Amino acid sequence: MSDALVVTDTVRIPPWALTVHAVRASGPGGQNVNKVATKVELRVDLAAVEGLSDAARARLLGLARHHLDADGRLVVTSQATRSQARNLEDARAKVAGLVRAALTPRRRRVKTAPPRSAGRRRLEGKKRRAAVKRGRVRRGEED
């Protein structure tokens, strides 16, 4: 079993919440790809992440919603290298990055009004377009 995944000083994932499964990688690699299981599937029990606030936990679930399995665990895969150990490091880094992203709250959007010049340009464009269409009307077909 692997050791705990430390994200920050206060946030960590205990080793029992991490499940590592090695499978054969897809793509090129010659005979090596048929013999060695280098692709790593890392499953993380998100409920076991220690040190997360309720808001950060909700953000984490939102960020990870497309990578959850049927049991609600986060599934991260890595097959970037031909080494199983480096793929495991990469998968752990991906999980840490995702948890770190959930720690920072999204900045609220500051609502601003469009500039007057933009409104003026829009209306001028509409008038130009109307004039073009008015010019297409044949005499006698007018409303």
Residue 36 belongs to a domain: yes
108 within some domain: no
DSSP labels, the chain: -PPPEE-SSS-EE-GGGEEEEEEPPPS--THHHHH---EEEEEE-GGG-BT--HHHHHHHHHHHGGGB-TTS-EEEEE-SSS-HHHHHHHHHHHHHHHHHHHHSPPPPPPP-PPPHHHHHHHHHHHHHHHHHHHHHPPTT---
Residue 6, CA atoms < 13 Å, CB-side half-sphere? 4
Percentage of residues in the chain having pLDDT higher than 90: 43
What residue numbers bound the domain in which 89 lies?
A: 5-103
Is the model's pLDDT at 111 over the cut of 90?
A: yes
Taking only Cα atoms into account, the Rg of the chain, rounded to an integer number of angstroms, comes to 27
Q: Does 119 reside within a domain?
A: no
Give me the pLDDT at residue 23, please: 87
Residue type, 132: V
Residue 132 lies inside a defined structural domain of this protein: no
Q: Please report, for the domain that includes residue 99, its CATH number.
A: 3.30.160.20
Determine, yes or no, domain membership for 49: yes
pTM over 0.95: no
Residue 133 falls inside a structural domain: no
Please report the pLDDT score of residue 36 as a whole number.
81
Residue 1 pLDDT greater than 60, yes or no: no
pLDDT of residue 8: 85
The per-residue pLDDT of the chain, averaged, comes to: 88
The reply to whether 116 falls in a domain is no
pLDDT mean over 71-79? 90
What total of structural domains would you count in the chain?
1
